[in-house]
Amino acid sequence: MPCSTHKQPFRPHSSRSPFVEGKSKPKPKPKPIVPSSHRTLGSSLIRPRGKAGKIPALAGMTVLHVLHPVPRAQLSAQCRGNVDIIHINATRQFFDMTTLLYFHDPMCSWCWGFRPVWDALKSRLHESIEVETVLGGLAPDSNEPMVDDMKDMLQKTWQRISEELGTEFNHAFWTDCEPRRSTWPACRAVIAAGLQGQSDAMTLEIQQAYYLQAKNPSDDQTLIDLAGELGLDTAQFVRDMHSARVELRFQSDLALTAQAPIRGFPSLVLNVGESWQPIALDYQDASVMLKTIQDACSSDSSRTE
């Protein structure tokens, strides 16, 4: 089962039932992907204009969050210059696009276990399918040491993933570091590295540092050191990691995660046209997921012909 955050655990349609990392409160029904507060722009969905709210660095700005692909020219014409920042979750700019969204957290242990199969799946996807990674943010900012119950649960989770998937973990982390239940700094680091074209590489660096080298990615210095190892401009990386630009992107990813039909991390959702289809995960073999994606694309194509 994926690492669970603020949602109920997502149970894919398979016989496997991995452990839940973290706890969540049950909800009477899933939150819809399209909140009623949104209005449509063509086949896109945008949030009405409003202040940035709880993001201090963005106070006074007007932010438009675009949740689906929309040409920038159409946005500009529709908004008539009344928006200070237009944020698109990724680089999608066209309506006629199929996108596979990967919801993850660089410090999610099930995401680490899923990584080999995820890499294999990406390599086998048709070139017409765009891949978009969404940072779901497993645990918010905190300077408090991790409580013993959480440490015990996570160590058992690592052990179970290792037994079921053969994933390697360095358990010295629990004695060599002071764990904190805080993954948001690592998420921001991935976004900041992405501004220098290294988001995927930073995700892998964080995972290897955390799970293999017993380093703590909840600490800024660890993240800065990793940026240096990647050959990034570390001064720019530090500025970006604490910038309004990165915070805006991260908050947009959190908003999309809250609206998506998922229950935890990792999760895959196929966006074909205006339909959103969760893809059941197989932690051992990419073939079943690939066939599900291909069938969904073929079905959509036949309906539009």
Q: How many CB atoms lie within 10 A of CB 54?
A: 8
CA distance 45 to 93: 13
What is the mean predicted confidence (pLDDT) over 164-185? 97
- pLDDT, tens digit, 9 for 90 and up, residues 69-124: 433 333 333 333 333 344 444 333 334 579 999 999 999 999 999 999 999 999 99
What the chain holds in terms of domains, given with CATH numbers, is 39-304 (3.40.30.10)
Beta-carbon contacts of 124 under 8 Å, excluding residues fewer than 6 positions away, are 286, 290
Residue 33 pLDDT: 36
Q: What is the pTM of this model?
A: 0.74
143: tokens are 């300077």
In terms of Cα–Cα distance, which of 171, 31, 188, 165 is closest to 105? 188
Taking 50 as the threshold, does the pLDDT of residue 264 lie above it?
A: yes
Q: Which pLDDT does position 303 carry in this prediction? A: 57
Give the integer Cα–Cα distance in Å for 62 and 48: 10
